[in-house]
Structure 1
Amino acid sequence: MKMAGMQMLLYLFCLGSVQAGKLLVIPVDGSHWTGMKPLVEELGRRGNQVVVVIPEESLSMGPSEHTTTLTYPVPYTKAQLQELVLPYMDDFLSIDTSIDVGGLLFSFITVEILKTFTVRNAESLLYNKELMKTLKDWDFDAILTDPFEPLGAIVGEFFNISSIYMQVNHPCGAHFLASQCPSPVSYIPHRYSQYSNRMSFFRRTVNMVRALLQPLACRRLFSHADEIASRFLQRETSMLEIMSHAAIWFLRFDFAFEFPRPVMPNMVMIGGFSVPKPKPLPQVSF
């Protein structure tokens, strides 16, 4: 892990720190932002200077407490997001793609729709020269982003600041590919396969084939993003290369609900961190 990333974490998460940090936050819409928002607001409440950058049109994002919110125009409306993205995402998360060929095709269509919106969103901010200059002049210590969309990772690379990724799950497993995390396919089922860790020989074979195809899926998913990143950073690069530079990964998984698997030293599971604190049980007398 980069030393700058370690120092930034100390600035952000130590109670009573007299030296606050400057944090840029580029979130992702929907449940991704719902899970990140409590952390962002808490960091602002503790005295850190937190700047959240969001598109003018979104499903769930807006101003948050103890932070500065900046917006940028995008070439789509909230109605278009509700009409095109929400129905596909609901079905995508519930469909079994392990046995249904139609499900695989549906997943492909969903990824293409998501790719269209994420690319438009990325170009809208990256080529907003006035806003990008404002962010550059802010001289942030680090960026907190969700790599489900490529925008935050590209901005962090451009500003050359420590990138802190907060990841729920990536459609092509980019978090494990980018970090070169070991993944023994005989024991770890693919997330969308709905297999258990006790697979038959046939299912192990299918799981291995899916694992071999995973880098191709990432290449397809990031095809436009790789081009945008290379053009904007003025060098040949890819999203997997950029994401491999992460200072730390906060994985919103709960180890109790995951199959045992090796993770890299800069990966931390934080499942359940956004759950409200439980209230004390009432005293009952018999």
Structure 2
Amino acid sequence: MARVALLMLCAFWLGAARAGKLLVIPADGSHWMGMKPLVEELGRKGHEVVVVIPEVSMSMGTSQHSTTLTFPVPYTKEDMMEAFDGAMDHFINRDLSTMLRKLKNYWDTMDALNWFTMLTSESLLYNKELMQKLRDYKFDALLTDPFFPVGIIVGEHLSLPSINIHTSLPCPLDFIATRNPRPNSYVPHRYTQYGSSMSLWERTVNLFRAALEPAGCSRIYANADKVASQFLQRKTTIVELASRAAVWLMFYDFAFEFPVALMPNMVLIGGLKSGKPKPLPQVMVHLDLCLTEKSLKTWWQHQRTALLIMRPLSISLCTYN
């Protein structure tokens, strides 16, 4: 399985391999925007690429050099946008003043994603005509985003080697499924907002967060686990199915992520977006800062990430008070 997936990956970079058949099941939103250039490039190089998407989505549609298959879903575009607007209002107005409130907001987000995932997954898996068409294609590999776990289920059903493309997951499925080592003593977990130098209390919270992450995955994929078990007719989970992926393509931007160890089947493919980078502007931004030594250190801890992605900076500091 790993050889077939690696063949598809090498074909993208080198273009010298024979043309193959690739099934693509993406996730909506920014996930699709990051995957789309890769899909179009594979199609341009001569591979037969088939993209499966729901009839109703926020941003997904046809792409160049590929075939697009759609399936009906039990909700309208208005329903989706209403739910999205409600989620954004909740996100903007949420109270994150304490760790308990942060935890509650995390669970609420998991529940909302859980409901949407179940509806869309069942609509695809139990579409007999579409599933038969996918079998008839006799694909060589599957490219999918685990954020939308139905792709993992389809890949298992069709016995396809899967290439999981990682962008942003509400739980660390990539690390849990691959059993990738992450020492909690010095690697901050996502969304903790901690730096590489943590106090004893922050390390304790980081450890507590690590203990909750498997529960978070279980919660967000609870309905997907049921759908997978019913459809595959055996007891299974999304985490178990994801652990069989041949390759993980990792969208990692180290302006926002701390360096971590990676398993051999995890490949770094760039930052948040795979579009061609634009040249930096020639205009320099000049900042005049008059800060005490203590406040300067505090400011830098919060701004060092932002400075990495801003335009070139010319910073002058006055004498410490």
Q: C-alpha separation between the residues in 2 aligned to 1:93 and 1:270? A: 31
- Please name the residue that 2:309 is paired with: none
User: Measured at CA, do residues 236 and 98 of structure 1 come closer, stay the same or move farther in structure 2, by a change above 3 Å?
Assistant: farther
- Please name the residue that 2:237 is paired with: 238
Deviation at 1:15, TM superposition (A): 2.1
Q: Is the 8 A contact 1:12 1:48 kept in 2?
A: no
Instruction: Tell me the TM-score normalized by structure 2.
Output: 0.81
Q: Is the 8 A contact 1:92 1:110 kept in 2?
A: no
Q: C-alpha separation between the residues in 2 aligned to 1:6 and 1:97? A: 43
- Please name the residue that 1:5 is paired with: 5
Q: Is the 8 A contact 1:54 1:70 kept in 2?
A: yes
Is the radius of gyration larger for structure 1 or structure 2? Answer: 2
Which is further off, 47-56 or 214-223? 214-223
SS in 2 for 1:182: coil
SS in 1 for 2:224: helix
- Please name the residue that 2:275 is paired with: 275
> RMSD of the alignment, in Å?
2.3
User: Measured at CA, do residues 108 and 89 of structure 1 come closer, stay the same or move farther in structure 2, by a change above 3 Å?
Assistant: farther
Q: C-alpha separation between the residues in 2 aligned to 1:53 and 1:11? A: 22
- Please name the residue that 2:162 is paired with: 163
- Please name the residue that 1:79 is paired with: 78
The letter of the residue matching 1:5 is A
Q: C-alpha separation between the residues in 1 aligned to 2:193 and 2:123? A: 37
Q: C-alpha separation between the residues in 2 aligned to 1:104 and 1:281? A: 41
Instruction: Tell me the TM-score normalized by structure 1.
Output: 0.91
Which is further off, 87-96 or 30-39? 87-96
Corresponding pairs, count: 281
The letter of the residue matching 2:202 is R
- Please name the residue that 2:136 is paired with: 137
The letter of the residue matching 2:243 is S
The letter of the residue matching 1:68 is T
User: Measured at CA, do residues 114 and 93 of structure 1 come closer, stay the same or move farther in structure 2, by a change above 3 Å?
Assistant: farther
Q: Say whether residues 1:128 and 2:127 are aligned partners.
A: yes
Deviations 1:145-171 (A, max 9, x none): 100121111111111111001111211
User: Measured at CA, do residues 281 and 149 of structure 1 come closer, stay the same or move farther in structure 2, by a change above 3 Å?
Assistant: closer
- Please name the residue that 2:298 is paired with: none
Which is further off, 238-247 or 269-278? 269-278
Structure 1, gaps ≥5 residues long: none
User: Measured at CA, do residues 157 and 92 of structure 1 come closer, stay the same or move farther in structure 2, by a change above 3 Å?
Assistant: farther
Residues 174-253 of structure 1: pairs in structure 2 closer than 5 A: 174-253=173-252
- Please name the residue that 1:102 is paired with: 101
User: Measured at CA, do residues 7 and 244 of structure 1 come closer, stay the same or move farther in structure 2, by a change above 3 Å?
Assistant: same
| Aligned residues with identical type, % of pairs | 52
Q: C-alpha separation between the residues in 2 aligned to 1:257 and 1:109? A: 24
Deviation at 1:255, TM superposition (A): 3.7
Q: C-alpha separation between the residues in 2 aligned to 1:96 and 1:145? A: 34
Q: C-alpha separation between the residues in 1 aligned to 2:196 and 2:86? A: 31
Q: Is the 8 A contact 1:44 1:50 kept in 2?
A: yes
User: Measured at CA, do residues 269 and 86 of structure 1 come closer, stay the same or move farther in structure 2, by a change above 3 Å?
Assistant: farther
Q: C-alpha separation between the residues in 2 aligned to 1:92 and 1:229? A: 30
User: Measured at CA, do residues 56 and 137 of structure 1 come closer, stay the same or move farther in structure 2, by a change above 3 Å?
Assistant: same
